[in-house]
């Protein structure tokens, strides 16, 4: 049968196609190291916003609420000013949380389609929001076709997982709990759970498959990855975590993905002390950043039991390991009791913790709902509950019963209610993020702690390129008086006048000695409980 074509239709189709390609090619790349200038927001898709009334959050629900995070207009202040989102696992999974992946190149149908996800990326990028996805590559789900195939000793996938014919003499995993399970008369390694079998990175094909998945998502438009359980890729004898081969794998992967996209970003969950995390970037980088768990613990602790030097010392320790501030800072995340619960729902302490985080070095991460003081204590499901948007049915999260019951008190503690209260925690976060976005010193300035005889008085000098500011907070719930400031040396000298960015006037001017020192320089007025200041110093 002879085919006939409508030439006009073909011509129009060609024009549309070429225009699409041209516009795509002309999309501006984000600047290198863009992550240093943004605040990230961690989202559990299942709990953020349900768009289709099935009680489960989804991609389209996030799109509906993007203007809450960032409306794309830097001149407005009613949005949070978020510059990046970290999506907890979006791959197909048999578990509600998604940390056991069934397919590395697909999305969870509970959350929508691949086209929905592409649209989410497009809408985020329109607003200047970068999209980072959770990458769970240490283990898979037990229903992953790779693992199901590997059960057969003759399968091509047998060596993709860690199998042994005999029960190991030592069945303990990295935390001392059982890590070996029997199936088909043989044993496999799964330290996280019997249904999360570990991939065997001693098999080159595993790395090839993960590289392939990396390329798939970067080609799709994802801006980077948060790597889950990064410590555990390789087992080398009795070394079950932080092995040399694990560290080397990430350094090789880093070079690989940068060839695909030199603006791609990675942040690692290496849940251990800072000194060990530092090894992942030696001798070369393994990821752009890592979450600083020591820092998070100390920031929250310094507010819970007021200690200025615990807070500044924690930042200093992180900077000693990563001198240019190449680390991810946070207060709590999806694996920990929520900040509001840890701080006994004390609004003042929550505000102080946010102040320390958002005026300090590093790239800050917020956990969804943290900005409105959502509560939650383990089990995990209760620290991952639906977002509280309003006092409408089901908290404005859904039109039907949500997958998990909302927190008590959602009718009074929600986004809509806090929007109307100028002194709310939500508006405090907005103010701090807006200041951080507008002040490069808060993002990337050098960080010099200043000592005070008032133990609860947190004082740091931020300086860079001839500009300087003081960040000050009284972490105590009482007034402090007769406070003095001391620093042995700094890079600035002479007298500076004070320009208040935040807080009531504290002093008119301050004088630094020739070597940049302050020697028991007195603050003349009392500083109220939990009072905070950001002060530009003008020469």
Q: Tokens for 149, please give them.
A: 């195939």
Q: Which two tokens stand for residue 158?
A: 């047998």
pLDDT at 273: 96
- The answer to whether the beta carbons of residues 414 and 430 sit under 8 Å apart is no
| Distance in angstroms (rounded) separating the CA atoms of residues 460 and 476 | 17
The confidence score (pLDDT) of residue 28 equals 62
Beta bridge partners of 461: 448, 470
Is there a cis peptide before residue 149, judged by omega within 30 degrees of 0?
A: no
Mean pLDDT of the region 12-23:
40
The answer on 493 and 349 residing in a single domain is: no
Q: Give the Cα separation of 427 and 57 in Å (integer).
A: 25
224 and 331 both lie in a single domain? yes
Spatial neighbors of 362 by CB under 8 A, at least 6 apart, are 289, 292, 295, 315, 318, 325, 327, 328, 329
Residue found under tokens 């320790």: 317
* Catalytic entry in 58, 100, 228, 326: 228
User: Helix (H, G, I), strand (E, B), or coil: what is residue 425?
Assistant: helix
Are 47 and 169 in the same domain? Answer: no
DSSP conformational letter for 404: S
Contact between 485 and 521 under an 8 Å Cβ cutoff? The reply is yes
Q: Residue 198 domain-assigned? A: no
User: How far lies 293's CA from each of 132, 231, 272, 485, in Å?
Assistant: 20, 14, 7, 29
Residue where a domain terminates, one of 128, 162, 189: 189
Percentage of residues of the chain with pLDDT beyond 70: 95
My answer on whether 417 and 506 are in the same domain is no
Chain-wide mean pLDDT for the chain?
Answer: 95
What number is the average pLDDT over the span 299-317? 98
3-state secondary structure 263-311: CCEEEECCCCCHHHHHHHHCCCCCCCEEECHHHHHHHHHHHHCCCHHHH
Mean pLDDT, residues 21-43 taken together: 76
Clarify whether 381 is annotated catalytic. Answer: no
- pLDDT per residue as tens digits for the range 415-467: 999 999 999 999 999 999 999 999 999 999 999 999 999 999 999 999 999 99
Q: Which of 387, 417, 438 is the last residue of a domain?
A: 438
Which tokens is 330 given? 């946070």
Is the pLDDT score of 389 beyond 60?
yes
Helix (H) or strand (E) holding 431: helix 425-438
For residue 125, pLDDT beyond 60: yes
Q: Is residue 255 part of a domain?
A: yes
Rounded (10°) angle between helices 204-220 and 244-260 = 40
- Give the start-end residues of each E strand in 48-93: 84-87
Q: How far is CA 188 from CA 169, 211, 229, 233, 269, in A?
A: 13, 24, 18, 15, 24
Q: What is the CATH number of the domain that holds 126?
A: 3.20.20.80
pLDDT at 114 over 60: yes
452 and 370 co-located in one domain: no
Question: pLDDT category, 513, cuts 50, 70, 90?
Answer: very high
- The CATH code of the domain that includes 161 is 3.90.400.10
| 387/333 same-domain check | yes
**Residue 299 CB contacts under 8 Å (≥ 6 apart), including other chains:** 311, 314, 329, 331, 353, 356, 357, 360
Mean pLDDT of 341-350: 99
172 and 225 in one domain? Answer: no
DSSP collapsed to 3 states, 156-216: CCHHHECEECCCCCCCECCCCCECEEEECCEEEECCCCCCCCEECCCCHHHHHHHHHHHHH
Same domain, residue pair 99 and 174: no
Within-domain flag for 195: no
Same domain as 453, residue 411: no
| Average pLDDT of span 176-192 | 96
Chain center to CA of 298? 17
- Among the candidates 392, 421, 438, a domain finishes at 438
Domain-located, residue 22: no
Would you say 16 and 10 are in contact if contact means Cβ atoms under 8 Å apart? Answer: no
Instruction: Answer whether residue 6 is part of any domain.
Output: no
Same domain, 160 and 241: no
Kind of pairing between the strands at 363-367 and 40-43:
parallel
Beta-bridge partners for 135: 227
When pLDDT is averaged across residues 342-371 and rounded to a whole number, the result is 99
DSSP line for 217-246? HHHHT--EEEETTGGGS--BTTB-SS-HHH
Residue 8 domain-assigned (yes or no): no
Which residue range(s) make up the domain with 288?
Answer: 34-138+204-438
Which pLDDT does position 14 carry in this prediction?
Answer: 42
Number of domains into which the chain is organized: 3
The band of 26, judged by pLDDT with boundaries at 50, 70 and 90, is very low
Sort residue 240 into left (φ over 0), alpha (ψ -120 to 50) or beta. alpha
Mean pLDDT, residues 315-344 taken together:
98
* 386 closest CA partner among 115, 130, 121, 96: 96
Is pLDDT of 12 > 80? Answer: no
Higher pLDDT, 3 or 82: 82
More confident residue, 15 or 508: 508
Name 480's bridge partners. Answer: 527
Residue 442: how many CB atoms within 10 A of its CB? 20
* CA–CA separation, 311 and 292 (whole Å): 13
Structure confidence by residue, pLDDT tens digits, 43-55:
999 999 999 999 9
pLDDT of 23 strictly over 70: no
Give every strand in the sheet of 328-329, ordered side by side. Answer: 289-290, 265-268, 224-227, 130-135, 84-87, 40-43, 363-367, 328-329
269 is catalytic: yes
CATH number for the domain including 486? 2.60.40.1180
Question: What is the 8-class DSSP label of residue 143?
Answer: T
With 50 as the cut, is the pLDDT of residue 16 above it? no
532 and 478 in one domain?
A: yes
Claim to verify: residue 122 and residue 254 sit in the same structural domain: yes
Q: How many angstroms separate the CA atoms of 97 and 100, rounded?
A: 8
Position 461 in a domain = yes
Q: Is residue 510 part of a domain?
A: yes
Catalytic one of 50, 79, 134, 269: 269
């Amino acid at each position: 049968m002879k085919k006939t074509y409508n030439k006009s239709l073909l011509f129009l189709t060609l024009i549309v196609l070429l225009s699409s390609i041209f516009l795509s090619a002309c999309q501006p790349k984000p600047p290198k190291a863009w992550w240093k200038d943004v605040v990230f927001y961690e989202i559990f898709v299942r709990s953020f916003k349900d768009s289709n009334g099935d009680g489960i959050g989804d991609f389209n629900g996030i799109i509906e609420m993007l203007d809450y995070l960032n409306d794309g207009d830097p001149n407005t202040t009613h949005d949070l000013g978020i510059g990046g989102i970290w999506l907890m696992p979006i791959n197909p999974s048999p578990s509600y949380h998604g940390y056991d992946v069934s397919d590395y190149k697909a999305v969870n149908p509970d959350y929508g389609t691949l086209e929905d996800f592409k649209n989410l990326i497009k809408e985020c990028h329109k607003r200047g929001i970068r999209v980072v996805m959770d990458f769970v590559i240490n283990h898979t789900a037990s229903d992953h076709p790779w693992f199901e195939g590997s059960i057969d000793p003759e399968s091509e996938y047998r060596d993709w997982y860690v199998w042994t014919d005999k029960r190991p003499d030592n069945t303990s995993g990295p935390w001392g709990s059982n890590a070996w399970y029997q199936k088909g008369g043989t044993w496999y390694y799964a330290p996280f759970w019997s249904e999360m079998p570990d991939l065997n990175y001693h098999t080159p094909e595993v790395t090839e498959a993960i590289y392939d998945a990396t390329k798939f998502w970067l080609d799709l438009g994802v801006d980077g990855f948060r790597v889950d359980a990064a410590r555990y890729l390789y087992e080398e004898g009795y070394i079950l975590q932080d092995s040399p081969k694990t560290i080397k794998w990430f350094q090789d992967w880093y070079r690989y993905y940068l060839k695909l996209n030199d603006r791609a970003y990675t942040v690692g969950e290496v849940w251990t002390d800072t000194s060990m995390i530092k090894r992942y970037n030696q001798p070369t980088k393994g990821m752009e950043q890592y979450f600083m768990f020591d820092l998070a613990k100390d920031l929250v602790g310094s507010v819970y039991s007021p200690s200025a030097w615990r807070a500044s010392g924690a930042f200093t320790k992180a900077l000693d390991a990563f001198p240019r501030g190449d680390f991810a800072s946070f207060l709590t995340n999806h694996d920990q009791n929520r900040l509001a619960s840890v701080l006994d729902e004390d609004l003042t302490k929550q505000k102080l913790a946010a102040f320390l985080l958002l005026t300090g070095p590093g790239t800050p991460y917020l956990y969804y709902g943290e900005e409105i003081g959502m509560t939650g204590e383990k089990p995990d499901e209760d620290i991952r509950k639906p977002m509280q948007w309003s006092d409408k049915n089901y908290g404005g999260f859904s039109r039907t019963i949500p997958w998990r019951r909302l927190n008590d008190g959602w009718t009074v503690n929600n986004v809509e209610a806090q929007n109307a209260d100028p002194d709310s925690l939500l508006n405090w976060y907005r103010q701090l993020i807006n200041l951080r976005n507008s002040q490069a010193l808060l993002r990337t300035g050098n960080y010099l702690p200043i000592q005070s005889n008032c133990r609860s008085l947190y004082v740091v000098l931020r300086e860079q390129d001839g500009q300087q500011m003081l960040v000050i907070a009284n972490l105590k719930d009482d007034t402090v008086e007769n406070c003095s400031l001391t620093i042995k040396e700094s890079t600035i000298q002479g007298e500076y006048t004070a320009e208040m960015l935040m807080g009531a006037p504290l002093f008119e001017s301050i004088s630094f000695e020739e070597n940049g020192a302050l020697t028991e320089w007195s603050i003349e007025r009392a500083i109220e409980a939990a009072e905070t200041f950001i002060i530009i110093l003008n020469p």
